Amino acid sequence: SEKDIATPIRTKQILERYGFSFKKSLGQNFLIDTNILRRIVDAADISEETGVIEIGPGIGALTEQIAKKAGKVLAFEIDQRLLPILKETLAPYDHVKVIHQDILKADVINEIEEYFSEGQDLAVIANLPYYVTTPILMKLLEEKLPLRTIVVMIQKEVADRIAAKPNSKDYGSLSIAAQFYAHAETAFTVPKTVFVPQPNVDSAILKLTLREKPPVDTDDEEFFFEIVRASFTQRRKTILNNLSKYFSETMSKADMETCLTETGIDPRRRGESLSMEEFADLSNALYKLI
């Protein structure tokens, strides 16, 4: 509607009135298209039962659209200068709480326990600051927060890497790290014109549906991720070459080759051709050797 925060005119008015200047270092690209905002919120399938966590509310454009549908909203904003603006723009919504904090330093679990009810349906919805997309997503996943879904606007290139399947150029350790915790899909792509200022990169909406448990069994989760990262050290090298270089102090190349063959993985294959299941089998077999 005309009153929405996310129109080009209203956004401009608010920013001028407060003399606000964008900080590129904080990834400040604000959304000015209500239609896109609604589609982001719709992708998370929320209702009045849902508690939503937002990261980086900016001047509240997305927060407002979330607030219209969610039971409660908790937003983390790092930039002090936005707090008085949010206080004004979000005044009509008393089920929204803004916390002035760096999400990477926040004790999110504790904030969830304090603000939402026990067992409440929880979703993260955000237009993420692009300079810290991956650390934020990995924090949300690794801390095993009780979330149903995470719907975020991020660089298209990162969304493609996160949702990638084996044997594609985008598939790598980030795909496996994310897909270990969640089912990942790119919901839709977004043109640069819906932001002020316009970012240099294309954007996409990534939807993560969290898993109750990982899709593979690993004897040691940390070692599994280490094997995955080592296997992609140099994408064009074979899995045997990458692993034997990485483990040159711990294992002989011959032992490594035997281990790969016994796990049913041709040592000449590249990391990008291995499924998560194969990485799990391989890391479980190698774990017994070290």
Binding residues, as ranges, are 29, 31, 56, 77, 102, 127
Q: Does residue 58 touch ligand SAM according to CB under 6 A? A: yes
Q: Which stretch binds ligand SAM (CB under 6 A): 52-60, 117-125, 158-166, 230-238?
A: 52-60
Q: What is the DSSP string of 217-278?
A: --S-HHHHHHHHHHHTSSTTSBHHHHHHHHTTTTS-HHHHHHHHHHTT--TTSBGGG--HHH
* Distance in Å, CB of 17 to ligand SAM, minimum: 17
Binding flag, residue 127, ligand SAM (CB under 6 A): yes
142 binds ligand SAM (CB under 6 A): no
- How far apart are CB 170 and ligand SAM at their closest, in Å? 22
61 binds ligand SAM (CB under 6 A): yes
36 binds ligand SAM, rule: CB under 6 A: no
Query: Which residues does the annotation place in the binding site for S-adenosyl-L-methionine?
Result: 29, 31, 56, 77, 102, 127
Closer CB to ligand SAM, residue 7 or residue 263?
Answer: 7
64 makes contact with ligand SAM (CB under 6 A): no
The residue with its CB nearest to ligand SAM is 56
Q: How crowded is the C-beta side of 219, counted as CA atoms within 13 Å?
A: 11
Our finding on whether 29 is near ligand SAM (CB under 6 A) is yes
Question: What value, to the nearest 5°, has the Cα angle with vertex 57 and ends 51 and 61?
Answer: 95
Q: How far is the CB of 89 from ligand SAM (least distance, A)?
A: 11
With CB under 6 A as the contact rule, which of the stretches 75-83, 208-216, 219-227, 260-268 interacts with ligand SAM? 75-83
Q: Which long-range contacts (CB under 8 A, 24 or more apart) does 133-142 make?
A: 133/158, 134/158, 134/174, 135/104, 136/55, 136/103, 136/104, 137/162, 137/178, 137/208, 138/177, 138/178, 139/103, 139/104, 139/108, 140/108, 141/177, 141/178, 141/181, 141/182, 141/208, 141/210, 142/181
Site string for ligand SAM, 79-118 (x = CB under 6 A): x--x-------------------xxx--------------
Residue 21 tokens read as 């200047």
Determine the Cα–Cα distance for residues 96 and 119; give it in Å rounded to an integer.
Answer: 19
For β-strands 195-196 and 30-31, DSSP reports them as antiparallel
Position among 77, 160, 278, 281 found at the interface with ligand SAM (CB under 6 A): 77
Q: How far apart are CA 42 and CA 132, in angstroms?
A: 24
27 is a site residue for ligand SAM (CB under 6 A): yes
Taking the complex as a whole, the smallest distance from the CB of residue 185 to ligand SAM amounts, in Å, to: 21
- Write out the E strands in the chain: 30-31, 51-55, 72-77, 96-100, 122-127, 149-155, 182-190, 195-196, 203-210
Residue 26 or residue 251: which is nearer to ligand SAM going by CB?
26
121 forms part of the interface with ligand SAM (CB under 6 A): no
Binding site for ligand SAM (CB under 6 A): 26-31, 55-58, 61-62, 76-79, 82, 102-104, 127, 129, 132
